[in-house]
A = this chain, B = another copy of it.
Amino acid sequence: MSAGAPDKRGFDLRRFLFSGAGWPYLLVPFIPIAIVLEFSHANASAIFVTSALGVIPTAALMGRATEELATRAGPGIGGFLNVTFGNAPELIIAFFALNEGLQEVVKASLIGSILGNILLVMGAAMLIGGLPRERQYFNHTAANVTSMMLLLAVVALIMPAVFELVQGTGLPRPEAEAVNYDSDVEKLSVGVAVILLITYAAGLIFSLRTHKDLFNPEHGPEDHVGEPWTVRKSVLMLAGAGVAVGLMSEILVGSISEASDSIGLSPFFVGVIVVAIVGNAAEHWVAIYFAARDKMDLAVNIAVGSAAQIALFAAPVLVLLSLFVGEFPMALVFNGFELGAVVLAVLIAQQVTHEGESTWFEGLQLLAVYAVLGLTFFFV
């Protein structure tokens, strides 16, 4: 990535890997491979796998560029940038899926991101961070605020489904590609989306202005890798990474239907497990990395915070976007698996965060729940 001599690049790479921020760049070769396969109309499964792997470095670069820009911008705007662009890759993938008419994959990937962050990321962080230690501590006040945001957001996300269950035509089948709901539940979804975005904006004011001390994990200088980037470099990198994420996402999304058929996985499973893992891979690694260095504040904040952002920001933005993109608007009506899993995951998040302590066994239990969910989704 740096413009130095090969020798220096090799050194950088090793430092990157050691620092936990660089491993995704090992997957860079999959970017051109995916492009070549796509243009040669190769086997859909091959396109799917390579583009899924290709998303990871572009998302990682996007995260890095956002952080560099945020550092330059100072705490206020920087925090805003960090928080808002934090889930940009997921949003971009979802945008292309929306455009393809794969609304159920979009919703599955939203729920999958929430589940993945709470169970897989936090679970792996607590397990790996906890193994060499008696227990780890984190700021439970901040974690509680975030996990309450998550609880409240999830209430909002499930009310349209309750509406459909009681009043309407029922929940979407997990096999569906998209369901065109009647206009009442579409209006309700838009209303809920607006309320969520207002809450999200208020949350930004809360965390960046009135209560910023609460959310100010001290990033030591050792948390920063290498030289800080200039604003110009950051902006260029952000733009370039955005384009690359978009390209990989379009290839990925275009291959989902066919690839899931030929691999024998349902599009639902692909959305809720595979796409969700790919879109969050970079954060996953960072959270584990911080946990291993006993910075559980950061690790828990990444996990629960990302989940809250998906629920409060990505989901409503996609609902509003769906008014302009795709054949018909996307109603916020999740299927039965998604509802069950997300309610249980959020209850678990409450329970796990409210003590401000964790052990390896808690991590393992979270992973066990993720395994149970994954197994259940596998049979869909």
Contact = CB atoms under 8 A, between A and B. Distances in A.
Contact of A365 (B141, B149, B337, B357): B149
Contacts of A357: 141
A335 interface: yes
Contacts of A361: 145, 202-203, 206, 210-211
A380 interface: yes
B354 A354 contact: yes
Contacts of A163: 337, 376, 379-380
The interface centre, meaning the residue of A155, A158, A160 with most chain B CB atoms within 10 A of its CB, is A155
Given A354-B354, A380-B167, A191 B375 contact: yes
Given A159-B340, A361-B202, A350 B351 contact: yes
Interface string A345-371: 001101110110101111011101101
- Output the residue of A348, A368, A373 with the most chain B CB within 10 A: A368
A326 to B, nearest CB: 23
Count of identical protomers in the assembly: 3
Interface in A195-250: 195-196, 198-199, 202-203, 206, 210-211
- Chain A interface size band reads 35 or more
A184 interface: yes
A211 B357 CA distance: 14
20 contacts: A134-B211, A145-B359, A145-B361, A147-B351, A148-B365, A149-B365, A151-B348, A151-B351, A152-B348, A155-B348, A156-B372, A159-B340, A159-B341, A163-B337, A165-B336, A187-B379, A188-B379, A192-B372, A199-B364, A199-B365
